[in-house]
Amino acid sequence: MTMINNDLCTGCKICQKYCTVDAILYLNEEKKCYIDQERCTECYVCLRQKVCPQGAIEPIELDNFYKQFQHVISDPVENHGVTGVTGRGTEEVKTNDVSGRIKKGEVGIAIDMGRPGMGVYLRDAEKVAMAIAAVGAELAPQEHTPLAALMTDLKIGKLEEACHNYHLLSVIVEAKCENENLKQVLKALQKVEKEIDTVFSLGLIVRVDEKGQTKVLDCLKELGISEPHRGKVNVGLGKPLSLA
């Protein structure tokens, strides 16, 4: 847990500029700053960058599993214990030529929640995961993505109740579906986006046909999902592991 030592704080407010999610608040009565623990993501930016000239920002041992999870996902230099990957702990599903997770006839889905600058409560990540699982998306297991470690049932995307109010800098809800089911999944996302208190960007991982074509763009157009769509192409020359 990140705390401000009240005895050392002079109320200069320098630290506020560095907090990624506006979790450092100023108390007028005391003329000092404090950290809103509900909002802090334990990203440790304020600690790592030593932003306080008084050394008043202090780390307190993270003695609870969800706090540790929050820190590991929110701090880009931490390594996630299960996946062994730094950052948000998930290997790039987008590099499918290496990971081979998305087979022909499938679409990979990476819903990047909370960026930029808003953060995401796990209760909102659950809403999104449950919404797409309910229409047939297959959520990624915990070997691929840390969020799955908090799921009580991977089939429906439900998270443990106790984690709902933890705030992360960002988190990826990762899944895949059959090509034919993509429209239903996107419709579910269009519905649930109105029910959450954060933002997300959607990554779709597709394998183009021999002519370099995909029907996914037609599907986006049909649903009125606005352009521009930004793309990244992996040609698989380095490690074409996925031929299936």
- Contact residues toward ligand SF4 (CB under 6 A) are 2, 4, 9-15, 18-21, 23-24, 33, 35, 40-46, 52, 54, 56-57
CB of 47 to ligand SF4, least distance (A): 6
Closest to ligand SF4 by CB, 19 vs 111, is 19
Closest to ligand SF4 by CB, 54 vs 95, is 54
CB of 117 to ligand SF4, least distance (A): 11
Whether the CB-CB separation of 172 and 88 falls below 8 Å is answered with yes
Residues pairing with 34 in the sheet: 25
Instruction: Catalogue the E-assigned strands of 60-199.
Output: 106-113, 120-121, 138-139, 151-153, 158-159, 167-168, 171-178
Closest to ligand SF4 by CB, 11 vs 141, is 11
Whether the CB-CB separation of 81 and 72 falls below 8 Å is answered with yes
Q: Which residues lie below 8 Å from residue 127, measured CB to CB, with a gap of 6+?
A: 192, 195, 196
Closest to ligand SF4 by CB, 144 vs 167, is 167
Closest to ligand SF4 by CB, 123 vs 215, is 123
Closest to ligand SF4 by CB, 131 vs 168, is 168
Q: Which residues lie below 8 Å from residue 98, measured CB to CB, with a gap of 6+?
A: 92, 238, 239, 241, 242
Whether the CB-CB separation of 114 and 198 falls below 8 Å is answered with yes
CB of 57 to ligand SF4, least distance (A): 5
Residues pairing with 158 in the sheet: 153
CB of 113 to ligand SF4, least distance (A): 16
CB of 71 to ligand SF4, least distance (A): 8
Whether the CB-CB separation of 125 and 69 falls below 8 Å is answered with no
Distance between CA atoms of 4 and 26, rounded to whole angstroms?
11
CB of 170 to ligand SF4, least distance (A): 12
Closest to ligand SF4 by CB, 30 vs 161, is 30
Euclidean distance between the first and final Cα of the chain, in Å?
45
CB of 67 to ligand SF4, least distance (A): 11
